[in-house]
Chain A
Amino acid sequence: MLIKIPKKSELSENQVTQESVYLQRRQLLRGMGFIGAGTLISSALSSTAHGGVFDLFKKEEKPVFPLKGLSYSALADAENFPEKLTPEAKVTSHNNFYEFGAQKHQPAELAQGFKVNPWQLKISGEVDKPMTLDYDRLFSTIALEERIYRLRCVEAWSMVIPWVGFPLAKLLKMVQPNSRAKYVAFETLHDPEQMPGQSSRRLGGGIAYPYVEGLRIDEAMNPLTLLSVGLYGKTLPPQNGAPIRLVVPWKYGFKSIKSIVGIKLLEKQPPTTWNLLAPHEYGFYANVNPEVAHPRWSQASERRITTGGLLARNRIETLPFNGYGEQVAGLYKGMDLRTFY
Protein backbone atom coordinates (compact mmCIF):
# COMPACT_ATOMS: atom_id res chain seq x y z
CA MET A 1 0.00 0.00 0.00
CA LEU A 2 1.26 3.41 -0.94
CA ILE A 3 1.20 5.84 1.90
CA LYS A 4 1.58 9.41 0.78
CA ILE A 5 2.37 12.08 3.30
CA PRO A 6 1.44 15.47 1.85
CA LYS A 7 3.71 18.41 2.36
CA LYS A 8 2.33 21.19 4.46
CA SER A 9 2.38 23.55 1.50
CA GLU A 10 0.14 21.27 -0.54
CA LEU A 11 -3.57 21.91 -0.69
CA SER A 12 -5.64 19.20 0.87
CA GLU A 13 -8.49 17.84 -1.18
CA ASN A 14 -11.25 19.53 0.76
CA GLN A 15 -9.63 22.87 0.15
CA VAL A 16 -9.82 22.58 -3.59
CA THR A 17 -13.37 21.33 -3.79
CA GLN A 18 -15.64 24.15 -4.82
CA GLU A 19 -18.19 24.97 -2.21
CA SER A 20 -21.04 24.46 -4.64
CA VAL A 21 -19.84 20.96 -5.45
CA TYR A 22 -19.32 20.25 -1.78
CA LEU A 23 -22.86 21.37 -1.00
CA GLN A 24 -24.31 19.35 -3.84
CA ARG A 25 -22.63 16.25 -2.53
CA ARG A 26 -24.18 16.85 0.86
CA GLN A 27 -27.55 17.21 -0.77
CA LEU A 28 -27.11 13.96 -2.66
CA LEU A 29 -26.20 12.20 0.54
CA ARG A 30 -29.12 13.74 2.35
CA GLY A 31 -31.40 12.70 -0.47
CA MET A 32 -30.16 9.16 -0.13
CA GLY A 33 -30.91 9.24 3.56
CA PHE A 34 -27.33 9.01 4.70
CA ILE A 35 -27.32 12.23 6.65
CA GLY A 36 -29.57 12.14 9.64
CA ALA A 37 -28.62 12.83 13.21
CA GLY A 38 -25.31 14.13 12.05
CA THR A 39 -26.92 16.93 10.10
CA LEU A 40 -27.35 19.23 13.05
CA ILE A 41 -23.80 18.78 14.18
CA SER A 42 -22.27 18.82 10.74
CA SER A 43 -24.09 21.96 9.67
CA ALA A 44 -22.77 23.69 12.76
CA LEU A 45 -19.34 22.41 11.86
CA SER A 46 -19.52 22.82 8.12
CA SER A 47 -17.39 25.94 8.12
CA THR A 48 -14.62 23.99 9.79
CA ALA A 49 -14.61 21.53 6.93
CA HIS A 50 -12.99 24.26 4.87
CA GLY A 51 -10.67 25.87 7.35
CA GLY A 52 -9.39 25.78 10.88
CA VAL A 53 -11.12 25.17 14.15
CA PHE A 54 -11.44 28.89 14.82
CA ASP A 55 -13.66 29.32 11.79
CA LEU A 56 -16.34 27.68 13.90
CA PHE A 57 -17.05 31.07 15.37
CA LYS A 58 -17.07 32.88 12.06
CA LYS A 59 -20.42 33.34 10.38
CA GLU A 60 -20.75 31.63 7.04
CA GLU A 61 -21.18 34.31 4.43
CA LYS A 62 -23.43 33.25 1.63
CA PRO A 63 -24.78 35.64 -0.97
CA VAL A 64 -28.44 36.29 -0.45
CA PHE A 65 -30.48 37.45 -3.40
CA PRO A 66 -31.54 41.05 -2.71
CA LEU A 67 -35.30 41.68 -2.63
CA LYS A 68 -36.90 45.07 -3.11
CA GLY A 69 -40.23 46.35 -1.84
CA LEU A 70 -42.80 46.97 -4.56
CA SER A 71 -45.50 49.59 -4.85
CA TYR A 72 -48.80 48.08 -5.87
CA SER A 73 -52.47 48.38 -5.16
CA ALA A 74 -52.98 46.05 -2.25
CA LEU A 75 -55.94 43.74 -2.03
CA ALA A 76 -58.62 45.75 -0.25
CA ASP A 77 -59.73 42.98 2.03
CA ALA A 78 -56.58 40.92 2.34
CA GLU A 79 -57.01 40.29 6.08
CA ASN A 80 -60.39 38.74 5.51
CA PHE A 81 -59.19 36.38 2.79
CA PRO A 82 -60.91 33.12 3.72
CA GLU A 83 -57.83 30.94 3.61
CA LYS A 84 -54.69 31.15 5.69
CA LEU A 85 -51.62 32.24 3.74
CA THR A 86 -48.72 29.84 3.46
CA PRO A 87 -45.84 31.37 5.44
CA GLU A 88 -43.40 33.30 3.28
CA ALA A 89 -40.51 31.14 4.47
CA LYS A 90 -42.27 28.04 3.14
CA VAL A 91 -43.24 29.64 -0.16
CA THR A 92 -39.59 30.53 -0.73
CA SER A 93 -38.04 27.24 0.41
CA HIS A 94 -40.29 24.64 -1.24
CA ASN A 95 -39.87 25.02 -4.95
CA ASN A 96 -40.09 22.90 -8.04
CA PHE A 97 -37.62 24.77 -10.24
CA TYR A 98 -35.46 22.06 -11.74
CA GLU A 99 -33.11 24.62 -13.30
CA PHE A 100 -31.79 24.98 -9.75
CA GLY A 101 -32.09 21.35 -8.68
CA ALA A 102 -34.82 18.73 -8.76
CA GLN A 103 -35.21 18.53 -4.99
CA LYS A 104 -37.53 21.09 -3.49
CA HIS A 105 -35.04 22.61 -1.07
CA GLN A 106 -32.35 23.05 -3.73
CA PRO A 107 -33.58 26.12 -5.66
CA ALA A 108 -33.50 28.26 -2.51
CA GLU A 109 -29.91 27.12 -1.93
CA LEU A 110 -28.57 27.21 -5.48
CA ALA A 111 -30.30 30.27 -6.94
CA GLN A 112 -29.18 33.04 -4.61
CA GLY A 113 -26.50 34.32 -6.97
CA PHE A 114 -28.89 34.49 -9.93
CA LYS A 115 -28.66 37.70 -11.98
CA VAL A 116 -31.95 39.25 -13.03
CA ASN A 117 -30.75 42.69 -14.06
CA PRO A 118 -30.22 43.27 -16.97
CA TRP A 119 -33.15 41.17 -18.20
CA GLN A 120 -35.03 41.05 -21.46
CA LEU A 121 -38.55 39.76 -21.91
CA LYS A 122 -39.35 39.57 -25.61
CA ILE A 123 -42.97 39.43 -26.76
CA SER A 124 -43.20 38.44 -30.40
CA GLY A 125 -44.92 36.24 -32.96
CA GLU A 126 -48.40 36.91 -34.32
CA VAL A 127 -48.61 40.45 -32.99
CA ASP A 128 -48.74 43.87 -34.62
CA LYS A 129 -46.48 45.57 -32.08
CA PRO A 130 -43.75 43.25 -30.83
CA MET A 131 -42.12 44.53 -27.70
CA THR A 132 -39.12 43.93 -25.46
CA LEU A 133 -39.27 44.80 -21.80
CA ASP A 134 -36.07 45.42 -19.87
CA TYR A 135 -35.78 44.83 -16.13
CA ASP A 136 -37.15 48.18 -14.99
CA ARG A 137 -40.06 48.11 -17.40
CA LEU A 138 -41.24 44.78 -15.99
CA PHE A 139 -42.31 46.75 -12.93
CA SER A 140 -43.37 50.02 -14.51
CA THR A 141 -45.20 49.26 -17.75
CA ILE A 142 -48.45 48.09 -16.19
CA ALA A 143 -49.74 49.04 -12.73
CA LEU A 144 -49.02 46.31 -10.17
CA GLU A 145 -51.69 44.75 -8.01
CA GLU A 146 -51.82 42.10 -5.33
CA ARG A 147 -53.64 38.81 -5.89
CA ILE A 148 -54.00 36.02 -3.36
CA TYR A 149 -54.21 32.70 -5.20
CA ARG A 150 -54.23 29.05 -4.32
CA LEU A 151 -51.36 27.18 -6.00
CA ARG A 152 -52.06 23.50 -6.55
CA CYS A 153 -49.14 21.23 -7.48
CA VAL A 154 -49.76 18.08 -9.52
CA GLU A 155 -48.00 16.21 -6.68
CA ALA A 156 -51.11 16.94 -4.58
CA TRP A 157 -49.81 19.64 -2.25
CA SER A 158 -50.95 23.24 -2.32
CA MET A 159 -50.18 26.71 -0.98
CA VAL A 160 -51.93 30.07 -0.68
CA ILE A 161 -49.70 32.85 -1.97
CA PRO A 162 -50.04 36.65 -2.17
CA TRP A 163 -48.60 37.47 -5.58
CA VAL A 164 -47.84 40.93 -6.92
CA GLY A 165 -48.11 41.39 -10.66
CA PHE A 166 -50.34 42.37 -13.55
CA PRO A 167 -52.81 40.53 -15.77
CA LEU A 168 -51.19 38.94 -18.81
CA ALA A 169 -54.15 40.21 -20.84
CA LYS A 170 -53.05 43.83 -20.32
CA LEU A 171 -49.62 43.07 -21.73
CA LEU A 172 -51.05 41.12 -24.66
CA LYS A 173 -53.39 43.98 -25.54
CA MET A 174 -50.38 46.29 -25.73
CA VAL A 175 -48.68 44.12 -28.36
CA GLN A 176 -51.93 43.74 -30.33
CA PRO A 177 -52.28 40.07 -31.30
CA ASN A 178 -53.38 39.55 -34.92
CA SER A 179 -56.13 37.20 -36.07
CA ARG A 180 -53.75 34.23 -36.39
CA ALA A 181 -52.78 34.39 -32.71
CA LYS A 182 -54.49 31.33 -31.19
CA TYR A 183 -51.93 30.25 -28.59
CA VAL A 184 -49.32 31.84 -26.36
CA ALA A 185 -45.96 30.12 -25.83
CA PHE A 186 -43.61 30.91 -22.94
CA GLU A 187 -39.94 30.19 -22.47
CA THR A 188 -37.67 30.23 -19.41
CA LEU A 189 -34.15 31.66 -19.53
CA HIS A 190 -31.56 29.18 -20.83
CA ASP A 191 -28.29 29.92 -19.10
CA PRO A 192 -26.51 26.72 -17.96
CA GLU A 193 -23.77 28.75 -16.27
CA GLN A 194 -26.25 30.34 -13.91
CA MET A 195 -28.74 27.51 -13.79
CA PRO A 196 -26.85 24.39 -12.72
CA GLY A 197 -29.79 22.08 -13.44
CA GLN A 198 -29.52 22.95 -17.13
CA SER A 199 -25.95 21.69 -17.34
CA SER A 200 -26.20 18.71 -15.00
CA ARG A 201 -28.60 15.87 -15.67
CA ARG A 202 -28.37 14.81 -12.07
CA LEU A 203 -29.29 18.21 -10.67
CA GLY A 204 -31.76 19.10 -13.39
CA GLY A 205 -33.79 15.89 -13.28
CA GLY A 206 -33.10 15.07 -16.91
CA ILE A 207 -35.78 17.25 -18.46
CA ALA A 208 -35.20 19.24 -21.67
CA TYR A 209 -34.19 22.88 -21.36
CA PRO A 210 -35.16 25.63 -21.84
CA TYR A 211 -38.44 24.97 -20.06
CA VAL A 212 -41.40 25.84 -22.27
CA GLU A 213 -45.09 26.23 -21.54
CA GLY A 214 -48.19 27.40 -23.33
CA LEU A 215 -51.77 28.57 -23.04
CA ARG A 216 -54.64 28.95 -25.43
CA ILE A 217 -55.21 32.65 -26.18
CA ASP A 218 -58.52 32.79 -24.32
CA GLU A 219 -56.87 31.23 -21.25
CA ALA A 220 -54.08 33.78 -21.52
CA MET A 221 -56.59 36.63 -21.78
CA ASN A 222 -58.59 35.48 -18.75
CA PRO A 223 -58.43 38.15 -16.04
CA LEU A 224 -57.13 35.60 -13.52
CA THR A 225 -53.98 34.87 -15.54
CA LEU A 226 -51.22 36.85 -13.93
CA LEU A 227 -47.66 37.77 -14.76
CA SER A 228 -46.11 37.99 -11.33
CA VAL A 229 -43.08 40.07 -10.40
CA GLY A 230 -43.37 39.70 -6.64
CA LEU A 231 -44.78 37.91 -3.64
CA TYR A 232 -45.40 39.06 -0.10
CA GLY A 233 -45.02 42.68 -1.23
CA LYS A 234 -41.45 42.28 -2.47
CA THR A 235 -39.79 41.31 -5.73
CA LEU A 236 -39.68 37.56 -6.45
CA PRO A 237 -36.77 35.57 -5.09
CA PRO A 238 -35.04 33.61 -7.86
CA GLN A 239 -36.32 30.25 -6.59
CA ASN A 240 -39.85 31.53 -7.17
CA GLY A 241 -39.10 32.65 -10.72
CA ALA A 242 -37.52 36.11 -10.57
CA PRO A 243 -37.80 38.52 -12.19
CA ILE A 244 -41.09 37.58 -13.88
CA ARG A 245 -43.20 34.45 -13.96
CA LEU A 246 -46.63 33.26 -14.94
CA VAL A 247 -49.36 32.35 -12.45
CA VAL A 248 -52.37 30.41 -13.75
CA PRO A 249 -54.25 29.55 -10.57
CA TRP A 250 -56.76 27.05 -11.99
CA LYS A 251 -54.02 24.87 -13.50
CA TYR A 252 -51.41 22.63 -11.88
CA GLY A 253 -48.31 24.52 -10.77
CA PHE A 254 -46.06 23.34 -13.58
CA LYS A 255 -48.02 25.51 -16.05
CA SER A 256 -46.89 28.60 -14.14
CA ILE A 257 -43.54 28.95 -15.87
CA LYS A 258 -40.76 30.84 -14.10
CA SER A 259 -38.08 33.38 -15.09
CA ILE A 260 -39.65 34.10 -18.47
CA VAL A 261 -37.56 35.58 -21.30
CA GLY A 262 -39.88 34.92 -24.21
CA ILE A 263 -43.61 35.17 -24.91
CA LYS A 264 -44.59 34.24 -28.43
CA LEU A 265 -48.05 34.28 -29.94
CA LEU A 266 -48.65 31.39 -32.30
CA GLU A 267 -51.22 29.93 -34.63
CA LYS A 268 -50.56 26.35 -33.48
CA GLN A 269 -50.49 24.77 -30.03
CA PRO A 270 -46.93 25.06 -28.69
CA PRO A 271 -45.03 22.15 -27.13
CA THR A 272 -44.81 22.11 -23.32
CA THR A 273 -41.95 20.63 -21.30
CA TRP A 274 -43.73 18.08 -19.13
CA ASN A 275 -46.06 17.05 -21.92
CA LEU A 276 -43.03 16.30 -24.11
CA LEU A 277 -41.45 14.24 -21.34
CA ALA A 278 -44.48 12.17 -20.33
CA PRO A 279 -47.57 12.91 -22.45
CA HIS A 280 -49.70 10.29 -20.70
CA GLU A 281 -49.06 12.00 -17.35
CA TYR A 282 -49.04 15.70 -18.19
CA GLY A 283 -51.47 17.15 -20.70
CA PHE A 284 -51.36 20.55 -22.38
CA TYR A 285 -54.30 21.86 -20.36
CA ALA A 286 -53.36 20.60 -16.89
CA ASN A 287 -56.51 22.02 -15.33
CA VAL A 288 -56.85 21.10 -11.66
CA ASN A 289 -59.43 18.33 -11.75
CA PRO A 290 -60.26 16.10 -8.77
CA GLU A 291 -61.96 13.64 -11.13
CA VAL A 292 -58.93 12.88 -13.26
CA ALA A 293 -56.11 11.12 -11.41
CA HIS A 294 -52.48 11.37 -12.36
CA PRO A 295 -51.07 7.84 -12.88
CA ARG A 296 -49.20 8.16 -9.58
CA TRP A 297 -51.36 10.46 -7.49
CA SER A 298 -55.05 10.71 -6.86
CA GLN A 299 -56.05 14.33 -7.44
CA ALA A 300 -59.23 14.13 -5.35
CA SER A 301 -57.59 15.75 -2.32
CA GLU A 302 -54.46 17.67 -1.44
CA ARG A 303 -52.27 18.70 1.46
CA ARG A 304 -52.29 22.41 2.17
CA ILE A 305 -48.86 23.56 3.25
CA THR A 306 -49.29 26.03 6.09
CA THR A 307 -47.75 26.27 9.53
CA GLY A 308 -47.55 23.33 11.85
CA GLY A 309 -45.22 20.37 11.64
CA LEU A 310 -45.87 16.76 10.91
CA LEU A 311 -49.12 16.65 12.86
CA ALA A 312 -50.88 19.48 11.05
CA ARG A 313 -54.19 18.08 9.84
CA ASN A 314 -54.21 19.78 6.51
CA ARG A 315 -55.65 17.38 3.97
CA ILE A 316 -58.49 19.03 2.08
CA GLU A 317 -60.67 18.19 -0.88
CA THR A 318 -59.50 19.47 -4.22
CA LEU A 319 -61.97 21.70 -6.04
CA PRO A 320 -62.57 21.59 -9.80
CA PHE A 321 -60.39 24.24 -11.47
CA ASN A 322 -58.79 24.72 -8.06
CA GLY A 323 -61.88 26.61 -6.92
CA TYR A 324 -61.87 29.08 -9.83
CA GLY A 325 -64.54 27.29 -11.87
CA GLU A 326 -66.88 30.25 -11.83
CA GLN A 327 -64.36 32.35 -13.70
CA VAL A 328 -62.90 29.73 -16.04
CA ALA A 329 -65.19 26.72 -16.57
CA GLY A 330 -66.73 28.49 -19.57
CA LEU A 331 -63.40 28.28 -21.39
CA TYR A 332 -63.80 24.52 -21.67
CA LYS A 333 -67.46 24.21 -22.61
CA GLY A 334 -68.02 21.11 -24.68
CA MET A 335 -64.54 19.72 -24.09
CA ASP A 336 -64.03 16.32 -22.49
CA LEU A 337 -61.57 17.13 -19.74
CA ARG A 338 -60.59 13.47 -19.46
CA THR A 339 -59.24 13.61 -22.98
CA PHE A 340 -57.95 17.16 -22.77
CA TYR A 341 -56.37 16.77 -19.33
Chain B
Amino acid sequence: MLTTKVFWLKLLIHLGALLPLVNLYYLALSDQLTADPVEAVIHFTGIGALNLLLLTLLVSPLSKVSRQGFLMKTRRLLGLYAFTYALLHLLNFLFFEVQFDIALFVGEIVKRPYMTVGMAAFVILLLLALTSFDKVKRRMGKSWQKLHNYSYLAVVLAGVHFYWSVKSEIIEPGIYLLLTLALLSLRRDKFRRWFKRKG
Protein backbone atom coordinates (compact mmCIF):
# COMPACT_ATOMS: atom_id res chain seq x y z
CA MET B 1 0.00 0.00 0.00
CA LEU B 2 2.68 2.42 1.09
CA THR B 3 5.03 1.46 -1.74
CA THR B 4 2.29 1.94 -4.32
CA LYS B 5 1.60 5.42 -2.91
CA VAL B 6 5.27 6.31 -3.25
CA PHE B 7 5.37 4.76 -6.72
CA TRP B 8 2.48 6.86 -8.02
CA LEU B 9 3.78 10.00 -6.40
CA LYS B 10 7.19 9.47 -7.97
CA LEU B 11 5.63 8.77 -11.34
CA LEU B 12 3.70 12.00 -11.02
CA ILE B 13 6.92 13.89 -10.24
CA HIS B 14 8.68 12.33 -13.25
CA LEU B 15 5.85 13.31 -15.56
CA GLY B 16 5.42 16.76 -14.01
CA ALA B 17 9.11 17.52 -14.42
CA LEU B 18 9.86 15.87 -17.75
CA LEU B 19 6.79 16.65 -19.88
CA PRO B 20 7.22 20.43 -19.62
CA LEU B 21 10.81 20.01 -20.78
CA VAL B 22 9.82 17.90 -23.77
CA ASN B 23 7.20 20.51 -24.67
CA LEU B 24 9.67 23.36 -24.10
CA TYR B 25 12.45 22.03 -26.31
CA TYR B 26 10.08 20.81 -28.99
CA LEU B 27 8.58 24.29 -29.33
CA ALA B 28 11.95 26.02 -29.04
CA LEU B 29 13.70 23.87 -31.63
CA SER B 30 10.86 24.32 -34.10
CA ASP B 31 10.86 28.12 -33.56
CA GLN B 32 7.37 28.15 -32.09
CA LEU B 33 8.35 29.34 -28.62
CA THR B 34 7.99 33.14 -28.59
CA ALA B 35 10.03 35.39 -30.87
CA ASP B 36 13.14 34.69 -28.82
CA PRO B 37 13.26 30.99 -27.91
CA VAL B 38 16.67 31.45 -26.29
CA GLU B 39 15.36 33.81 -23.67
CA ALA B 40 12.30 31.62 -23.20
CA VAL B 41 14.21 28.39 -22.45
CA ILE B 42 16.59 30.18 -20.09
CA HIS B 43 13.76 31.74 -18.12
CA PHE B 44 11.65 28.60 -18.05
CA THR B 45 14.40 26.32 -16.77
CA GLY B 46 15.64 28.93 -14.28
CA ILE B 47 12.25 29.55 -12.73
CA GLY B 48 11.48 25.83 -12.95
CA ALA B 49 14.62 25.08 -10.93
CA LEU B 50 13.55 27.58 -8.29
CA ASN B 51 10.04 26.11 -8.13
CA LEU B 52 11.46 22.62 -7.69
CA LEU B 53 13.92 23.77 -5.03
CA LEU B 54 11.08 25.31 -3.04
CA LEU B 55 9.01 22.15 -3.47
CA THR B 56 11.97 20.12 -2.18
CA LEU B 57 12.13 22.36 0.87
CA LEU B 58 8.41 21.88 1.41
CA VAL B 59 8.61 18.09 1.64
CA SER B 60 9.92 17.73 5.16
CA PRO B 61 7.60 20.25 6.89
CA LEU B 62 4.66 18.91 4.91
CA SER B 63 5.31 15.31 5.88
CA LYS B 64 5.68 16.32 9.53
CA VAL B 65 2.50 18.40 9.68
CA SER B 66 0.43 15.90 7.72
CA ARG B 67 2.12 12.93 9.45
CA GLN B 68 2.61 11.31 6.10
CA GLY B 69 6.15 10.08 6.47
CA PHE B 70 6.17 8.44 3.05
CA LEU B 71 6.34 11.90 1.48
CA MET B 72 10.00 12.02 2.52
CA LYS B 73 10.72 9.35 -0.06
CA THR B 74 10.07 11.88 -2.82
CA ARG B 75 12.49 14.50 -1.55
CA ARG B 76 15.61 13.23 -3.27
CA LEU B 77 13.81 12.91 -6.60
CA LEU B 78 12.50 16.48 -6.38
CA GLY B 79 15.96 17.69 -5.43
CA LEU B 80 17.52 15.90 -8.37
CA TYR B 81 14.99 17.46 -10.74
CA ALA B 82 15.77 20.87 -9.26
CA PHE B 83 19.43 20.16 -10.10
CA THR B 84 18.46 18.95 -13.60
CA TYR B 85 16.57 22.17 -14.30
CA ALA B 86 19.45 24.24 -12.92
CA LEU B 87 21.90 22.32 -15.11
CA LEU B 88 19.72 22.91 -18.18
CA HIS B 89 19.43 26.59 -17.21
CA LEU B 90 23.23 26.84 -17.21
CA LEU B 91 23.64 24.80 -20.40
CA ASN B 92 20.98 26.89 -22.16
CA PHE B 93 23.01 29.95 -21.32
CA LEU B 94 26.24 28.35 -22.57
CA PHE B 95 24.81 26.73 -25.71
CA PHE B 96 22.20 29.20 -26.87
CA GLU B 97 22.88 32.58 -25.25
CA VAL B 98 26.68 32.90 -25.48
CA GLN B 99 26.85 30.13 -28.11
CA PHE B 100 29.99 28.39 -26.84
CA ASP B 101 31.99 31.58 -26.46
CA ILE B 102 33.82 30.15 -23.46
CA ALA B 103 35.73 33.37 -22.73
CA LEU B 104 32.48 35.31 -22.63
CA PHE B 105 30.83 32.57 -20.54
CA VAL B 106 33.55 32.58 -17.88
CA GLY B 107 33.91 36.36 -18.08
CA GLU B 108 30.22 36.93 -17.44
CA ILE B 109 30.16 34.56 -14.48
CA VAL B 110 33.15 36.28 -12.92
CA LYS B 111 32.20 39.87 -13.74
CA ARG B 112 28.44 39.98 -13.17
CA PRO B 113 27.66 39.55 -9.48
CA TYR B 114 24.18 38.14 -10.14
CA MET B 115 25.75 35.43 -12.27
CA THR B 116 28.43 34.69 -9.69
CA VAL B 117 25.69 34.18 -7.12
CA GLY B 118 23.75 31.92 -9.49
CA MET B 119 26.86 29.90 -10.22
CA ALA B 120 27.50 29.47 -6.48
CA ALA B 121 23.98 28.11 -6.08
CA PHE B 122 24.59 25.73 -8.97
CA VAL B 123 27.86 24.43 -7.52
CA ILE B 124 26.08 23.62 -4.27
CA LEU B 125 23.33 21.79 -6.14
CA LEU B 126 25.95 19.91 -8.14
CA LEU B 127 27.67 18.70 -4.96
CA LEU B 128 24.35 17.67 -3.46
CA ALA B 129 23.40 15.77 -6.62
CA LEU B 130 26.76 13.98 -6.77
CA THR B 131 26.41 12.86 -3.16
CA SER B 132 22.80 11.85 -3.43
CA PHE B 133 23.44 8.13 -3.96
CA ASP B 134 22.85 5.78 -1.02
CA LYS B 135 26.36 4.39 -1.24
CA VAL B 136 27.96 7.82 -1.03
CA LYS B 137 25.60 8.82 1.73
CA ARG B 138 26.59 5.82 3.84
CA ARG B 139 30.26 6.41 3.26
CA MET B 140 30.03 10.10 4.14
CA GLY B 141 28.38 9.43 7.50
CA LYS B 142 27.70 12.58 9.52
CA SER B 143 29.29 14.93 7.04
CA TRP B 144 26.57 14.05 4.52
CA GLN B 145 23.92 15.91 6.50
CA LYS B 146 26.31 18.81 7.02
CA LEU B 147 26.83 19.10 3.28
CA HIS B 148 23.18 18.74 2.45
CA ASN B 149 22.25 21.53 4.86
CA TYR B 150 23.81 23.80 2.24
CA SER B 151 20.59 23.37 0.25
CA TYR B 152 19.24 26.22 2.41
CA LEU B 153 22.04 28.46 1.19
CA ALA B 154 21.48 27.31 -2.40
CA VAL B 155 17.82 28.30 -2.43
CA VAL B 156 18.60 31.72 -0.95
CA LEU B 157 21.35 32.29 -3.54
CA ALA B 158 19.04 31.20 -6.36
CA GLY B 159 16.38 33.63 -5.16
CA VAL B 160 18.90 36.48 -4.98
CA HIS B 161 20.17 35.55 -8.46
CA PHE B 162 16.63 35.86 -9.81
CA TYR B 163 15.91 39.12 -7.96
CA TRP B 164 19.17 40.63 -9.17
CA SER B 165 18.68 39.55 -12.78
CA VAL B 166 15.51 41.52 -13.52
CA LYS B 167 15.44 45.10 -14.71
CA SER B 168 12.66 46.54 -12.60
CA GLU B 169 9.84 44.00 -12.32
CA ILE B 170 10.71 42.90 -8.81
CA ILE B 171 7.32 41.64 -7.66
CA GLU B 172 7.69 38.06 -8.89
CA PRO B 173 11.23 37.55 -7.56
CA GLY B 174 10.08 39.26 -4.37
CA ILE B 175 7.35 36.66 -3.95
CA TYR B 176 9.92 33.89 -4.40
CA LEU B 177 12.18 35.40 -1.74
CA LEU B 178 9.25 35.62 0.67
CA LEU B 179 8.32 31.98 0.02
CA THR B 180 11.96 31.02 0.63
CA LEU B 181 12.03 32.90 3.92
CA ALA B 182 8.74 31.28 4.96
CA LEU B 183 10.07 27.78 4.23
CA LEU B 184 13.34 28.49 6.02
CA SER B 185 11.54 29.97 9.01
CA LEU B 186 9.89 26.58 9.52
CA ARG B 187 13.39 25.37 10.34
CA ARG B 188 14.24 28.12 12.78
CA ASP B 189 14.75 25.64 15.63
CA LYS B 190 17.35 23.85 13.58
CA PHE B 191 19.18 27.08 12.80
CA ARG B 192 19.00 28.15 16.45
CA ARG B 193 20.62 24.88 17.52
CA TRP B 194 23.49 25.41 15.07
CA PHE B 195 24.16 28.88 16.33
CA LYS B 196 24.01 27.77 19.96
CA ARG B 197 26.54 25.07 19.30
CA LYS B 198 28.85 27.56 17.67
CA GLY B 199 28.21 30.39 20.14
Q: What residues make up the interface of A, taking CB atoms closer than 8 Å to B?
A: 28, 31-34, 36-37, 39-40, 89-91, 93-94, 98, 102, 104-105, 155, 157, 201-202, 205-207, 277-278, 293, 295-298, 300-301, 303, 305, 307-311, 313-315
Q: Which of B102-153 contact A (CB under 8 A)?
A: 104, 107-108, 111-112, 114
Q: When A31-B172, A157-B39, A295-B112 are in contact, do A307 and B31 touch as well, CB less than 8 Å?
A: yes
In the complex with contacts A94-B36, A308-B31, A309-B33, A36-B107 CB distance below 8 A: no
Q: What 4 A-B pairs have minimum CB-CB distances, sorted nearest first?
A: A36-B20, A94-B35, A309-B31, A37-B19
**Contact A202:B171 (CB < 8 A) given known A90-B35, A94-B35, A310-B96:** yes
A305 to B97, CA, bound (A): 12
The verdict on B47 contacting chain A, using a C-beta distance below 8 Å, is yes
Interchain CB contact under 8 A, B51 and A34: yes
Q: Inside 8 A of B97's CB, which chain A residues have their CB?
A: 303
146-170 of chain B: CB within 8 A of chain A = 164-165, 167-170
Residue of A40, A277, A295 near B23 (CB, 8 A) is: A40
Task: Give complex CA distance A308, B101 in Å.
Answer: 20
Contact B19 A309 (CB under 8 A): no
Note all chain B residues with C-beta closer than 8 A to A94.
34-36
**A301–B101 touching, CB < 8 Å:** yes
Shortest Cβ distance from A254 into B: residue: B167
Chain A contacts for B164, CB-based, 8 A: 296
CB distance from B13 to the nearest CB of A (A): 14
Contact A205 B44 (CB under 8 A): no
CB neighbours (8 Å) of B28 from chain A are 309-310
Residues of B within 8 A of A315 (CB): 98-99, 101
Is there contact, CB below 8 Å, between B38 and A303?
Answer: yes
Contacts of A155 in B (CB 8 A): 167
| Pairwise interchain contact B34-A105, C-beta atoms closer than 8 A | yes
Whether A206 and B98, one on each chain, are in contact in the complex, defined by CB atoms closer than 8 angstroms, is no
Residue of A nearest to B115 (CB): A296
B binding-site residues for A, Cβ under 8 Å: 19-25, 28-39, 41, 43-48, 50-51, 96-99, 101, 104, 107-108, 111-112, 114, 164-165, 167-172
Tell whether, in the assembled complex, residue B104 and residue A301 are in contact, meaning their CB atoms are under 8 Å apart. yes
**A303: B residues at CB distance < 8 A:** 36, 38, 97, 99
Give Cα A295 to B38, complex, Å: 21
Q: What is the CB-to-nearest-CB distance from A92 to chain B, in angstroms, rounded to a whole number?
A: 9
- The A interface is mostly helix, strand or loop, or mixed, namely loop
Please give the distance in Å from A172's CB to the nearest CB on chain B: 31
Cα separation A147 to B22 with both chains bound (whole Å): 41
Docked-complex contact A305 and B35, CB < 8 angstroms? yes
Q: A33-B50, A207-B168, A310-B28 are in contact. List 8 more A-B contacts (CB 8 A).
A: A33-B43, A33-B47, A36-B48, A37-B20, A40-B23, A89-B35, A206-B168, A310-B37
Is B170 in contact with A33, judged by CB distance below 8 angstroms? no
User: How long is the Cα–Cα vector from A37 to B169 in the complex, in angstroms?
Assistant: 26
Contact A32 B34 (CB under 8 A): no
B108–chain A nearest beta-carbon distance, Å:
6
Residues of B within 8 A of A307 (CB): 31
* Contact A309-B39, Cβ < 8 Å, known A36-B24, A102-B169: no
List 16 A-B residue pairs with CB atoms under 8 Å apart, sorted by A's residue number.
A37-B22, A93-B34, A93-B35, A102-B168, A104-B36, A155-B167, A157-B39, A201-B171, A202-B171, A206-B171, A277-B168, A300-B104, A303-B36, A305-B36, A309-B33, A310-B96
Select from chain A the residue with minimum beta-carbon distance to B24.
A36
Min CB distance A15 to B, Å, is 28
How distant is the Cα of A100 from the Cα of B164 in the complex, in angstroms?
Answer: 23
Interface pair A296/B114, CB less than 8 Å apart = yes
Q: Which residue of A lies closest to B96 (CB)?
A: A310
A205-B169 in contact (CB<8A)? yes
- Complex Cα–Cα for A102 and B48 (A): 19
